[in-house]
Amino acid sequence: MRGTAQLPASKSESNRALILQALAGGGQLDNLSDANDTQLMQRLLLNPDAPRFDAEDAGTVMRFLTGYLAATGRHTHLTGTARMLERPIAVLVDALRQLGASISYEGQEGYPPLQLNGWNPTAAATEAGELTELPVRGDISSQYISALLMVGPTLPHGLRLRLTGKVGSRPYIRMTLALMQHFGADCRDLGTVVEARPGRYQPTDYTIESDWSAASYWYAMVALAPAGSWLTLPGLRRYSWQGDQAIVAIMAQLGVATEYVQDGVRLTQTGTRTPFTQDFTDCPDLAQTVAVVAAALGVPVLMSGLESLRIKETDRIFALQTELANFGAYLTEETEGHFRVSTDGFRVSDQTVATYHDHRMAMAFAPLALLGPLTIEAPQVVRKSYPQFWSELEKAGFAVTG
């Protein structure tokens, strides 16, 4: 494998930038992601006074819009797919209610769909000069925290979030704060406390970086490809706001070296592989990729920080365990929260991989085609984050049919 693969733009950056652009009232965004989640966010924000919003299966769209629509005083209905209606949102709704939002549940308590009925910021008043302070659990999706932070500067008294418990996916919180600062916000990360002072966002231009999460699948391909393989991935930055840049250090242990070049990175297979332990608390979207590659290469890996995988597009731990077993590999919980990847003879021989309505299941298992033929069910799920994934595989020399 040798050549260049085109990555999508980061949907994490794109969806945050779209909310901030809307709150700022302008600014030019370049290289927006073509992922379905981002295209959906764009369409919904074009009509903020609509009586109904459908976030489909997009977690960032559901959570960021909940914050945005509440803080801007909209009266509307917010729903999603059947799976989205099973994903909890009570932490965010409870916090917004304390800040003055009127939100009710239309179905099961603590879950979408939601009815938003305006905003009364006087309910969140504090002493003069003091930020409004809220305790928020940090041990679930960081998207709740980002949704609150982004509307923080628009509140009369700003916002101070006191994070309780173990904080997951902190790089995504830092990304949010960095983009807020780019749009003129006065905000900071103080560890267990994050603050956003009151003030107006400024219309600002921004160019979205390519997606490190998507890059992880190409790292997997170089790791599994024949010796001497290399690949260039344009649009990635050495100094990135994306937590999934952690793939650089992780894949170095699975035989892939990274060199930063003028407009991206160059990946080279080294063949040097070592057992390791990895905490995925700050980069949970890399877990599926790493588990599959480690299993295929027979490299023992102990994984932790996987708690949030239970509430993603599917229960990703169950999905990984089920599909890896078809190849002779196992993801076993040895102690609470610690999973070991092992194999008793990994083989690829025309198996079929179920994707569970999850784009990352499809893309994490696809690189196994380098070891033999396989079938990926419901391949269209990749449209959520990487619509051109299959065509990029064909350009790289894969035979893709279906």
Report, as residue numbers or ranges, the catalytic residues.
Answer: 285
Question: 86 and 111 in contact (C-beta within 8 Å)?
Answer: yes
- Provide φ and ψ at 58, rounded to 5°: -95, 110
Distance of CA 120 to the CA centre of its chain: 31
Taking each helix axis from N to C terminus, what angle separates 11-24 and 170-182, rounded to the nearest 10 degrees?
Answer: 40
CA-wise closest residue to 182 among 157, 153, 141: 153
Taking the alpha carbons at both ends of the chain, their separation in whole angstroms is 23
Q: Which two tokens stand for residue 224?
A: 């599994």
Distance CA 284, CA 234 (A): 23
Distance of CA 251 to the CA centre of its chain: 19
Distance CA 222, CA 242 (A): 21
Exposure of 89 in the CB half-sphere (CA atoms within 13 A)? 34
C-alpha gyration radius of the chain: 21
Distance CA 401, CA 27 (A): 41
Q: Which two tokens stand for residue 98?
A: 């304390």
CB atoms within 10 A of CB 337: 12
Distance CA 380, CA 249 (A): 30
Question: What amino acid is encoded at 309 in this protein?
Answer: L
Distance CA 25, CA 32 (A): 17
SS3 129: coil
Mode of pairing for the β-strands spanning 29-30 and 206-207: parallel
CA-wise closest residue to 70 among 162, 164, 150: 150
